[in-house]
Structures are given as structure tokens and as C-alpha cells.
Structure 1
Amino acid sequence: MKILRVFNNNVVLARDELGREVVLTGRGVGFQKRPGSPVSQETIARRFVPADNPASVAQIIADIPPERLRLVETLFARAVADLGSRLPPLTLVALADHIHQAVERVRRGEIMDYPLRAEVAHLHPQELAVAERMLGELNEHLDVPLPAGEAVALTMHLFHAVTGSPTMAATYEQSGLIRQVFALLADSYGPAFDPASIDAARFAAHLRYFFARARSGAQLDGDEGPVGAAVRAGSPAAYTLAQRIRALLELRLGHPVSEEEVVYLSLHVARLETGMRRGRTT
């Protein structure tokens, strides 16, 4: 690999063996280097392959203190693993930049307001719980502790990492789509539907993993089969509502939802119905 640009001693832009522009980080990777110099492989700690604007990504990384980047990487990778996923490299950059900017804002006495905490708690309870723990661990190491509201932003970055959304904007769109599905459930079931219930949390988690499968082209794609037939016969209302959810997802995502995915949507709707019936009898 050849260096294209040196940002500092620890961050360079290079061209790899496949002709791609890549961002390399590592202690001393840019030390006494200039454009055209070969990269010393033993100095590379991380390699990022941005689809767009690699120089901008390199500059963002160069602005973050190396020890802060390492801290965020360690805690974020653990948090994503706790949610059953792996850390996409570029989501690390987005979160590390967010935390770096948040620390600098607090240092200047500026506090960001995150008014969506109640909504995030309903839509992404698993991610929020992990984010709150992660924030506590971060604050143990930061000289300027971040306020509790930052857990909301961390939640959305975790959701971004787990669903594999290409951008944070797409992440917020997917969160908004979960909110629309919940609105459909509330419209169908009225006050009996509790968006804070454990069954609603499981339903949100199912949607989250559906988004990941849909984005990677790996939807469940079999025939209806005996499970589907049993759901249609045993829970016709749940199946009908799942078809309405399917129509909403197809409209918003712009591609079809497979029949097998509808079957699993139906199972989760049926579980919601069971939970609501149980709630009425207790």
C-alpha cells in the first residue's frame, strides 16, 4: 500500500492492493511519512474503507484523541456484541465522532437536549438499556462526564450498528417506521396495546432484525408451510393485521416482504394478543 495523505502520526489515507482509498490508523503509521511512501504493515491497527469521502472520514478520525477512539471501540464493540451483532467499522467512526463532539460541547458548557427518550424507551428498550450501561462505563474514563441524555444518542448509534443502516439518517427512518407500526397496533387494539410491554419490546426487536435481513437481501423466503397455515387458522386476526403491517413495510421500504416474513410477523402479533389477554385477566 502507498500513502496518499498524512493527517497526523496516527492517521493516513492510503491506496490498498485493490486500488481503493482506505483510512489507516495506528500508532506511528504516519510518522515521518509523505505521499508515495509505503505503509509499514506492522503499524496498522485499524483499516476503514469508506464508500464516500474517505479524506473526510480520515480527518474526522484524526481529530479524535487516539485514547478516546480506543475507549469507544472497546465499549461499543462489547455493547454491539451484547445485542447479538458485530461492530461495522464505519459505525465506530460515527459514534466516536459523536462522543468526541459531545465531550467538547460539555467542556464548553453546552448541553444537548434529547426530547425523544420516552419514545426511544418504547421502541428500542434493549438498545437503551445497553446504551445506559455503556454511558456509565464511558463516564468512568472521561475527564468530562457526559449527561444522562446522551444515552438516547448512543441508543440510536447502537440501533444503526445492529440493523446495518447505511447512514444515521436511514437509522432514524427505520426507527420512525417502527413507530408507524406501533401506531398501527395501537389503532387496532386501543388502550390494550402497551408499547412499554415486554411483548412490544420483542416485536420491536423482530422488526429490527427484519430490517437487517431485508437490507442484506436475506429475508426468510420459504412457502407459507404448515406453520403459516396453522397461524392463519389459529390466529386469523393476527394474520390479517400482519398483512396490514406488510403493506406498510413494503410501501416505506420500497420492496416486497416475503410470505414467510409475514408468518413470523403474525406469530409476534399473536404473542402480543396473548399478552394483552393475560393483562386483562390479571
Structure 2
Amino acid sequence: MEILRVFNNNVVLARGTNHEEVIVTGRGLGYQAKPGSAVDQTKIVRVFVPQDGRDADNFGALVAAIPPEHLLLADEALQLARRDLPSPVSSTIVVALADHLSFAIKRMRQGIDLEYPLRAEVAHLYPDELRIALYVLDFVNSRIEQTLPEAEAVPIALHLVNAGFATGDLSLTYQMTGVFTQLFEVLEKAYDRPFDRDTVNAARFITHLRYFFVRAQSSRQLDDGASTLSKAIRESYPEAFANALKLQTVLELRLGEPLTEDEVTYLTLHVARMVEDLRVP
């Protein structure tokens, strides 16, 4: 393997044996390494393959932002549960789960407790995924000092649901790509600033939009009636909410169907996170 880009000491972008771009992780793998040099095969712990047309640089940036121990934790948990999963364990689901677990563990250490009002809906619509999620959560809690609450099984289950929606339909990928570009143009015009699409928050926004497209195609938009949460977020981020409404207009025009209040709420949160990147000197 040949190194194409070094993200940090433990994560690099490399060219695989079949000339595909892959994300390679391992302790010290990127230390003093340079583009063009060979990957130290003895240090490789995990190889992540960008899938479904994902940009390798954005995917690599997201992997690099996750602590290595959380990547390993998610990978081990999913491998143990793989017999019950409807589809093979992909790089996408491992990274998505690791990103969620890392954030959840950080919140727990800071004493921040979130409620997930979707429990009843998830239990009703996705009982198998919730059962697997509870198993995954038990495994994770057996490996960390401060355990996560049972409610965390809800977002874990939703990650498993999203993983099962993977599609090889390139026409959807092309449509999504065009819409993503248009949405960024709307935001850049609103803030009169270019948005760096290589940031972790931009990658998270794109990932959220990908999942939104799958939900919209399946007529399963988020709609749990969390009006109190929506109201709080809109009041906390009025500017982001105003611009999320602009994104809502674009998405509704392109998809031909209205967005739910919850979908707009999550758009608001992602816009607010990306705007924070603009304010970093």
C-alpha cells in the first residue's frame, strides 16, 4: 500500500492493492510518514473502505477525529453481533457507530444526559435492530468505566437500520450529489463565506443527508413529535434555524414531498455545528 495522505499519527489515506483508496488505521502508522511512502504493514489494525460513492478524504477525516479505542470498540461490538445483522458489517456502519459512541461517552463524562423519545417507535418498527442494539450496548458497557444508559440503544438501533438501507442505485447517488452541492451553495450565500467540506462537521452533515435521502425514499422521515426539543433548538440557534428553512425549501422542491418538523430540527443542529467551524480562527 502507498500512502496518499496523512491525517494524524494513527490514520492515513492509502492506495490499496486493487488501486482503490482506503483509510488505514494503526498506532504510529502516520508518524513521520509522507505521501508516496509505503504503509508499514506491521502496524495496520483496520482498513476502512469508503462505500456508496463516499469521498475518501471526508471519510478519512471523520475516522481521524474518532479516538482509536472507540473505533476498536465499535468494530468488536459489531463483529460479535454480525450473525444477527441483516447485512455484512461495512466500514460505514463501524465508523458511524464509533462516532456516535465516542460522542455518547464524552457526554456521559461531562454529566450530560440526553433523552431519546423515539424508543416506542423504534421498538415497534425495528424490534430486531433494537434487540441487536441492546446486545451491542451491553458489550460496550462491559468495556468502559462509566456505563451508558439503556436509552443509548435507540440511536444505535437507528444506525443499524440505516446500514440496512444501503443501495447500489447510482441514480440516487447522482441525485444526492447534485442536491448536496446546491445545499452548500445556499449556505455559502446565506453566510457569505465558503464552507470547508473537508471538516468533520461537514462530513457529519453529508452523512446525515445521505441517511435522510434513504429515509425519504422509504417514506420513513424522522417524525417522533418531539415539539419541545424542536422548540428549544430553534430558540437556541435562531440563525441556523432560519437557514435550515432555506435548506428545507430546496429539499422539498427536489424530493417533491414536505419535510417533517424533526428533519428540520436536525438540519438546524448540523448547520449550527458547521457555522462553529467558520468562527474558529
- Under a length normalisation based on structure 2, what TM-score does the superposition of the two structures give? 0.57
Is contact 1:86-1:162 (8 Å) kept? no
Mean Cα deviation higher: 37-46 or 149-158: 37-46
| Cα distance in structure 2, aligned partners of 1:165 and 1:155 | 19
Q: 1:30 aligns to what?
A: 30
Q: Flag the 1:65–1:178 CA change in 2: closer, same or farther, 3 A.
A: closer
User: Among 212, 227, 245, which residue is 1:169 paired with?
Assistant: 212
The aligned residue for residue 8 of structure 1 is 8
| Aligned-partner SS, 2:4 | strand
Q: Secondary structure at the match of 1:60?
A: helix
Q: Distance in 1 between matches of 2:106 and 2:19?
A: 36
User: Contact conserved, 2:212 with 2:221, CA < 8 A, in 1?
Assistant: no
**For residues 222 and 106 of structure 2, what CA distance do their matches in structure 1 show?**
32
Q: 1:106 to 1:20 in 2, by over 3 A?
A: same
Matched AA of 1:129: R
Q: Report what 1:106 is aligned to.
A: 108
Q: CA deviation at 1:124?
A: 0.6
Distance 1:4 1:117 in 2: 43
Distance apart, 1:22 and its partner CA: 2.1
List per-residue Cα deviations over 1:109-139 (Å, max 9, x = no partner): 2222211110111101111112112212211
Percent identity at matched positions?
A: 43
Give, in whole Å, the separation in 1 of the partners of 2:125 and 2:64.
34
For residue 7 of structure 2, give the secondary structure of its aligned residue in structure 1. strand
Paired position in structure 2 for 1:58: 60
Q: Quick one: distance in 1 between partners of 2:222 and 2:73?
A: 32
The 5 Å alignment of 1:252-267 reads none
Deviates more, 1:129-138 or 1:148-157: 129-138
> Over residues 184-236 of structure 1, what are the superposed CA-to-partner deviations in whole Å (9 max), with x where a residue is unaligned?
xxxxxxxxxxxxxxxxxxxxxxxxxxxxxxxxxxxxxxxxxxxxxxxxxxxxx
Match of 1:91 among 85, 90, 93: 93
- The aligned length equals 182
Match 1:144 to one of 143, 146, 152: 146
Q: Structure 1: where are the runs of 5+ without partners?
A: 181-250, 253-282
- Give the Å deviation of 1:178: 10
Listed one character per residue, the Cα deviations across residues 160-192 of structure 1 (whole Å, up to 9, x for unaligned) are 233435843245447754999xxxxxxxxxxxx
For the aligned residues, what is the CA RMSD? 2.8
Aligned position for 1:73: 75
User: Which of structures 1 and 2 has the larger relative contact order (alpha carbons within 8 angstroms, sep 6+)?
Assistant: 2
Cα distance in 2 for partners of 1:87, 1:111 equals: 29
Say which SS state the counterpart of residue 7 (structure 1) adopts: strand
The 3-state SS of whatever aligns with 2:123 is helix
Aligned counterpart, 1:155: 157
In structure 2, stretches of 5+ residues that fail to align are 169-209, 224-255, 258-281
| Deviating more after overlay: 167-176 vs 100-109 | 167-176
Deviations 1:67-89 (A, max 9, x none): 22112101112223223432011
Contact 1:81 1:87 in 2 (8 A): no
Change (3 A) 1:149 1:12: same
Q: Distance between the aligned counterparts of 1:74 and 1:62, measured in 2?
A: 18
Cα gap change, 1:14/1:178 in structure 2, threshold over 3 Å: closer, same or farther? closer
CA radius of gyration, larger in:
1
1:123 maps onto 2:125 in alignment: yes
Q: Indicate the SS of the match to 2:115.
A: coil
> How far apart, in 2, do the equivalents of 1:165 and 1:147 lie?
32
Q: The residue matched to 1:32 in structure 2 has which SS?
A: coil
TM-score by structure 1 length? 0.57
Q: Are 1:80 and 1:161, in contact at CA under 8 Å, matched by a contact in 2?
A: no
